[in-house]
Amino acid sequence: MNILGVHDGHNAGALKAGEIEKVAVASTQRSTTEWFMNTGSWYQSRLPAIAAKAEFTLPPLRRLYPAINFTTRNIIKRAKLNNQQLVRQLKKDFGLENAKFAFIDHHLCHAAYSYYGRNWEGETLILTLDGRGDGICATASIGNGNEIKRISETKGGNSVAELYLGATAYLGMKPLEHEYKVMGLAPYASPQHGEKAAAKLKGVITFDEKLTFRSKIRTNTAYYWIKEKLANERFDNVAYGIQKFTEELVTEWARKAVQKTGLTKIALGGGLFMNVKLNKLILELPEAEKLFISPSCSDESLMIGAAMAEQAKTERPEPLKDIYYGAEYSEEHTTRMVAEKGIAKKYEVERHKDINGKVAELISNNEVVARCTGRMEFGARALGNRSIITNPSSFSNVRIINQMIKSRDFWMPFAPSILSEAQQKYMINPKKMEAPYMITAFDSVPENREQITAAMHQYDFTIRPQAVEKENNNNYHSIISQFRKETGIGAVLNTSFNLHGYPVIYTPEDAYYVFENSGLKYLQIGNHLISKKS
């Protein structure tokens, strides 16, 4: 059966309209204009009482609504359609007049993506955590065969993720975007002072024997609570405190879930599990035999989970392999672009029979190369095809890439792409968890850290690796293999190919625009190599 997964009107497939028999829509509830207006009225009338009970102070009501719910503030500019209106719009936009439609619960989408995407058989414990979706912020389920049975759920307003979001906003960063920066900053705090900040958060969220979270505050107001609780704490201590609180609470929740169900194989989904340091600790639990975290597990992947959940009603979805789901562009496309834009008049343009060898040679000489080749990777992580790569053994490359294009915060690490067959040389992974998606952190191997020093966290020496399999990405594997022959290093530094603050590039035209408007010297598009003249 051909099933199209949809979230907010975006589809996850390239099927023709006539081939699609069913459309699985992520989430059962739509947020209409009326919903937003009712939400605003609710906050105005109820929040003073909630604030008094939780012992924190609200700003004047005239300034309350724009700041009170970051999720709402993020999407209020685009009121959504109700279910019937959405079906009519999708039929019109995609020509799906003969397709049947199914609306799939938000957290079932997260659970399905992780459970059906896993690479083992047998009963599995499935945990989901996020800000909220369809009124729920956390679930625990048991997966068995094609069935997912939910055993616990937590209502919105009790969300660990929203508490983390509030801390992100308090630190002056963008909520729903910069939580990863808070995670990266946390290890730099002194534990002596960071623990004091963590202690001030202790007990604000707990969970009961049913695995249901309970918060003393409505967590979508957490910004104000954190502002008062941590008012005198230094910025790095705040980051340490919220990360430590999250790690301790969620790992204990996972431990209790294993004890309750007796299941030691765990699948994780939902936006909070983009926190790779938290995932590392769950993997290290003695109770965890196996762990799978769905790649790019925030709401961008809901459409995949929706399609999987609907497919599972009749047949077993295929486990995930590579996630290069985007388009690729032909050599003819690139040749035409080079001619139309007059690129050869401004820059050196070469076509190489062995472009992989040429790129490996460049990075062996400590050059930085941007790649736009093959199918684009899905989700939040650049996995080689829309990446900037270089030699990971030279720490000066961090500064070079930041000056050229990235402008990353000084504390934020880059990541390594490691040959799958060489991963034991660089990452400590006693449970042999597969790591193709950059979705969890690992401790690095001390005696080999100097080989990947530019691609690790500079304070705690953890890495967020992509283990590159030849069958998943032969060209990228070939580059790293040839780089290893030249240098003895079985890894490269990998960061996403984009201008600071912009999305990752998609097309060759995107790649060329970024190349022109940055300090990048080398751009690979397929077999073409574009170089800025000396």
- Give tens-digit pLDDT for 304-362: 999 999 999 999 999 999 999 999 999 999 999 999 999 999 999 999 999 999 999 99
Per-residue CA distances from 238 to 183, 220, 230, 379, 528 (Å): 11, 18, 7, 29, 47
Question: How would DSSP label each residue in 312-379?
Answer: TTTSPPPPP-----S----HHHHHHHHHHTTHHHHSEEEE-TTHHHHHHHHHHTT--EEEE-SSPPPS
Structure tokens at 176: 């729903």
Structure tokens at 45: 């009338």
pLDDT band at 459 (very low <50, low <70, confident <90, very high): very high
Q: What number of other Cβ atoms are within 10 A of residue 478's Cβ?
A: 18
pLDDT band at 267 (very low <50, low <70, confident <90, very high): very high
pLDDT band at 31 (very low <50, low <70, confident <90, very high): low
pLDDT band at 105 (very low <50, low <70, confident <90, very high): very high
Topology of domain 119-297, per CATH? Nucleotidyltransferase; domain 5 (3.30.420)
Residue 125 DSSP class? E
CATH number for 331-531: choose from 3.30.565.60, 1.10.3470.10, 1.10.1200.10, 3.90.870.20. Answer: 3.90.870.20
pLDDT band at 96 (very low <50, low <70, confident <90, very high): confident
Residues of each domain in the chain carrying CATH 3.30.420.40: 119-297
Determine the average pLDDT of the residues in 355-378: 98
Residues of each domain in the chain carrying CATH 3.90.870.20: 331-531
Per-residue CA distances from 308 to 77, 146, 420 (Å): 30, 10, 28
